[in-house]
């Protein structure tokens, strides 16, 4: 089986990238933009909330090592899928929760996992499950942001606590 691709939006792409990069079987995680109407958007355009794009990550993974279902479990557990257009301090449509499926198999797994995940939340899950159309990589300064800026206030206050929770919950799936 060859490599596969998953595309998720779960709030700030710096957080998602830092988390998914730690998983066994994940070969790359690219922060970028997906789900909008403007071709080749930049960060300022997406941040305006006028492009329809969400901050997203595109994951290349080896399904012999980690399954799409495992990626979905991490997705549901590392952000709040019940808040509309918001994750923590980040607000706007660019921070919405979306699973962009690449084929019917991913769509089916995403829909089933959403039903299972709903049992874990008191409020309704608002995550969209939508067909993948296009992904635009973010600017270079967004790539590996957490690794390059671990002492930045956002990294300390937002990403570090998410990583700690993730590492405790998914220690069997991490590279370390």
Q: Which of 6, 9, 10, 12 is catalytic?
A: 12
- Look up residue 142 and give its two tokens: 């967004």
DSSP assignment string, 65-96: TS-HHHHHHHHHHSS-TTSTTEETTEESGGG-
Half-sphere exposure of 31 (CA within 13 A, CB side): 26
Length of the chain: 176
Please state, in angstroms and rounded to a whole number, the distance separating the CA atoms of residues 106 and 160: 29
Residue among 133, 116, 34 at smallest CA distance from 75: 116
Residue among 159, 134, 143, 169 at smallest CA distance from 52: 134
Residue 54 near residue 96, CB atoms below 8 Å = yes
Question: Is 12 an active-site residue?
Answer: yes
Residues 103-114 as b or e (16 or more Cβ within 10 Å = b): eeebbebbeebb
Active site residues per annotation: 12
């Amino acid at each position: 089986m060859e490599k596969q691709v998953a595309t998720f939006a779960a709030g700030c792409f710096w957080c998602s990238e830092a988390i998914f990069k730690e998983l066994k079987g994940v070969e790359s995680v690219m922060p970028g933009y997906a789900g909008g109407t403007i071709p080749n958007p930049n960060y300022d355009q997406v941040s305006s909330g006028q492009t329809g794009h969400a901050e997203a990550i595109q994951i290349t993974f080896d399904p012999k090592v980690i399954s799409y279902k495992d990626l979905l479990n991490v997705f549901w557990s590392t952000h709040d899928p019940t808040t509309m257009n918001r994750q923590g301090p980040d607000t706007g449509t660019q921070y919405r929760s979306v699973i962009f499926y690449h084929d019917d198999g991913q769509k089916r797994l995403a829909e089933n996992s959403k039903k299972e995940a709903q049992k874990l939340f008191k409020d309704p899950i608002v995550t969209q499950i939508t067909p993948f159309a296009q992904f635009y990589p973010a600017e270079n300064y967004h790539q590996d942001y957490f690794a390059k800026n671990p002492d930045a206030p956002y990294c300390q206050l937002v990403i570090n606590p998410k990583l700690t929770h993730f590492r405790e919950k998914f220690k069997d799936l991490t590279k370390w």
